[in-house]
Chain A
Amino acid sequence: MFITLFLLTFALSLILIPESQAYVVRTWAFIATLLPMWALTWCWWTFDASGHGLQMVVILGRSHLAFGIDAVALSLMLLTTILFPICMMLLRSVAGFMTFILLEVLILGALCILDLLGFYILFEASLILLFLLIGRAPYGSLDAAYKIVLYTMVGSLVLLPTLFMIYSECGTTNVLYMTCASNYQTVLGWGLLAVLAVKIPLMPVHLWLPEAHVAAPTAGSVLLAGVLLKLGGIGFLRFMLPVVPEFCVSVFPLVSTLCLISFLFSTLSTLRQIDLKKIVAYSSIAHMSLVTLAIFSQSEFSAYSSSFLMIAHGLVSPALFLIVGILYDRAHTKYILYFSGLGASMPIACTLFFLFTLGNLAFPLFPNFIAEVLCLVSIFAVHELLAYVFCVCQVLAAAYGFWAFNRVAHGIARGPSDISRTEFHTILPLLIGVLWLGTKPM
């Protein structure tokens, strides 16, 4: 794991050298993102799946900075390193490559760090890079860039005094050693909840997500949907449940209400959207609210089911963003009213779109289905009524999925040309992952 970060920083420094030849930079960046993928596949191979604890723990010296991987983090890191080469295939400028490699270093570090202050620093450090990515003039919007930075910053500034309180209480911010006295748990819990609720968007503070996902370039949307939302999930699993478990139990009614509201709200909002990317973005909120609910239910399967749903969502949503990106490349618009009858002229793309829409709806044979069933099982163990309500509301997801697909693929044909080989190859890994995980989950 340390090897991974080392490889990446190595790649980073090498990017600095050839700045004039864009082609060389591009191949270098692509290879540099493939290396962590191989390193992590090796980690996966040597991982002992029967143990419950953290493995490959690296503690630096006598400081309380520590890195370690558990199963959840390992799967998310593998997802990250699979998504990054896909992103690299979509980028075109040297600044873009630099930004993405920096982001990869930060995100991989944030996924495996065991120290709360380190986690805070790493995911805050990605904020300015996201600002530059989203705020770029021709495609993006400055409004969205401000929103993502300010929402996350306000949440994390609430975390900062909480962090200091943890330090003065426990003497360390390393999660391996943190066990908190119960009189401080409320304050600590609220602080952690504040920042993680912004990151994995829950209802009142989710407003940055639709705009950020829409305004980001395709590679940026892939990254945001696939990886950055999962940082919130892993924050909950790794930092909140072990440290403030009593707070989690006591705040479960509030969190479950927020999750339910955000699920319903985002699913129903999707029906009114006319921007294709916003449809996919709002469906991300819905999936993530189910993940949060599963985490907070703290039942037997909750960690497993929520991480599986995170991975499934991390395969399907980026694929949908890729398809929308392809459509945008053809037509230079994302408005759904302009697209019609693409099934006639882009059969392969529409097949893919259909498959991933089914994945988004949690259709059987797709990993989302298995994951959602498991999440509902884990919620059912704690709160049966909520699980019933969620089961019923799942159907609503089908509404916007099929509506979007219908508007785009069927109807009178006005066709752009079909999907090219390069673009197909960018989606191919995700397709393989989805089909494989759907039929043989692990």
Chain B
Amino acid sequence: MLWNSIYELDLCLGLLLLIFFGLFSLRNGHVALNHIRFLCQCWLLMITPLEVQDYALCLLTIVLLQSFHSFEALLFLLLGYVGQLYMLHSCNLVSFYVCLEAQTLCVVVLCGLLARGASTSFSVEAALKFLLLSAMVSGMALFWFSAMYQRTGSLEMIGQETFWILLVMLFKLGVAPMHLWSVDLYGSIPKSLLLYLSTAPKLSLFTFWASSWHHDYSVGVFILFSMLIGSIGAYGQPALRSLFAYSTINEIGLLLLAVETAGFHTLYQHLSIYIITQLLLWNLTDKRLFLICAVSLAGLPPFAGFFGKAWIFWHAMSVQAFSLLAAALLCTVLSLVYYLRVIRLFWVTPVHTAATFIGSQNQTTLTSACAITLVFTPVMLIKPFIV
């Protein structure tokens, strides 16, 4: 991480100390939460190097930080952010592993910690599952890295067999044969952490994949698995959260298709649309906003989700990946049905508890949701017709 000058480094470290002190004071009730949170966000902004991808991650984390309220959450999120930042730029196996583990363990700890009241046992159970599975996968990856070190004597990432890195990354993303933890986790963790989990690791891992790393193997089988399981698995789900966990798996499959066909610009477009959708989805206050979310995820025009999918399909067609494209189109139709079902549940049946969200909590979440909605619908309308 390169800072421009020693003064800036000094300022960053000083700010970090201030934040720690502030967090401890927060625990004792001396300082207001908003100020500490603001300081954390400023600190994030300052330690980011001057590249677009890092700033995207920084912006996302700043927005996500807005919905957390406790001392441990802020601390671990900052730590996780540092891990992600280093991972984006890592070209060494060890640094990749360390940063990935840092980020994962932050999420694991937060899963267990942020429970409130009755859902404590669910959160702890989910955290344990995630911990065990990710520890197993990371352990296997570590073994492979050490075997490679023994064989070749170097820890550079380029020029090695990249299969295990691929597997570890796909596991963390929640890609289909290894998706079961995400389905369980989505149902059990509090909403702010769910928002973090479904956006930030995906952004950092895909950015790492697209910019710093080259994969030698085709991920076609993972794409097919993800899309099919994501489309069909949601049919039996009773809970909204697990339904959207499966829709996330479907979307990850689509993003993998974008990576597979080397359409990285389409990857970023669809990823950003997906992140905005997730932000809106888990911050809802109104059933119309939910309609926008669900229709955008389903890929119906005129919302932005259609354009994200359309660009991915377009790119897939231009590189002639016809069979994958056909599978993707089929899975779009399959997933449309459960989106319609959820929309119908919200809108058509006149039950008293469903459609009226008790207009919740902070002004901040409300403003973020509204801002996102405004950005949402018309932004992609202009885009296809230019160029």
Binding site for B on A (CB under 8 A): 60-65, 115, 117-118, 120-122, 124-125, 127-128, 131-132, 135-137, 142, 145-146, 149-150, 153-154, 157-158, 160-161, 164-165, 167-168
Contact = CB atoms under 8 A, between A and B. Distances in A.
A118 B317 CA distance: 20
A145 B347 CA distance: 13
B11 interface: no
Contact of A120 (B301, B325, B329, B336): B301
Nearest to B384: A117
Contacts of A63: 382, 385-386
B295 interface: yes
Given A124-B300, A124-B306, A165-B317, 13 more contacts: A63-B386, A120-B301, A124-B302, A131-B344, A132-B347, A135-B344, A142-B348, A157-B332, A160-B310, A160-B329, A161-B325, A164-B313, A167-B314
A167 B315 CA distance: 12
A439 to B, nearest CB: 42
Interface string B279-318: 0000000000001000100001110001000100110011
Contact of B340 (A120, A146, A157): A146
B131 interface: no
B333 A153 contact: yes
B337 A150 contact: yes
Interface residues of B, number: 28
Nearest to B302: A125
Contacts of B314: 164, 167
A440 to B, nearest CB: 40
B145 to A, nearest CB: 41
A-B pairs with the 5 shortest C-beta distances? A63-B385, A121-B301, A65-B385, A124-B301, A125-B302
Nearest to A117: B384
Contact of B317 (A136, A145, A158, A161): A161
Nearest to A106: B302
B385 A121 contact: no
20 contacts: A117-B384, A117-B385, A122-B302, A124-B302, A125-B300, A127-B300, A128-B291, A128-B295, A132-B348, A137-B348, A137-B349, A137-B350, A142-B344, A142-B348, A149-B340, A150-B333, A157-B333, A161-B325, A164-B313, A168-B318
Contacts of A125: 300-302
A121 B386 CA distance: 15
A136 B349 CA distance: 8
A235 B318 CA distance: 25
B285 to A, nearest CB: 16
Most chain B CB atoms below 10 A, which of A128, A132, A154, A164: A128
Nearest to A65: B385
B71 to A, nearest CB: 42
B333 A115 contact: no
Contacts of A64: 385
B343 A160 contact: no
Contacts of B382: 63
Contacts of B318: 164, 168
Interface of B: 291, 295, 300-302, 306, 310, 313-314, 317-318, 325, 329, 332-333, 336-337, 340, 343-344, 347-350, 382, 384-386
Contacts of B291: 128
A344 to B, nearest CB: 39
A167 B382 CA distance: 17
Contacts of A168: 317-318
A131 B333 contact: no
B379 to A, nearest CB: 14
Contacts of B344: 131, 135, 142, 145
Between B291, B314, B349, B382, the greatest number of chain A beta carbons within 10 A of the residue's beta carbon is seen for B314
A121 B329 contact: no
A154 B333 contact: yes
A146 B329 contact: no
Contact of B343 (A60, A118, A124, A131): A131
A177 B340 CA distance: 37
A205 to B, nearest CB: 14
A205 B314 CA distance: 26
B336 A153 contact: yes
Contacts of A120: 301
A117 B380 CA distance: 13
A118 B301 CA distance: 10
B369 to A, nearest CB: 17
A374 B319 CA distance: 47
A62 B386 contact: yes
B385 A118 contact: yes
Contacts of B347: 132, 135
A134 B271 CA distance: 33
A63 to B, nearest CB: 4
- Of the listed residues A137, A150, A160, the one surrounded by the most CB atoms of chain B closer than 10 A to its CB is A160
B337 to A, nearest CB: 7
A139 to B, nearest CB: 11
A121 B313 contact: no
Contact of A149 (B336, B385, B386): B336
Given A157-B329, A168-B318, A115 B385 contact: yes
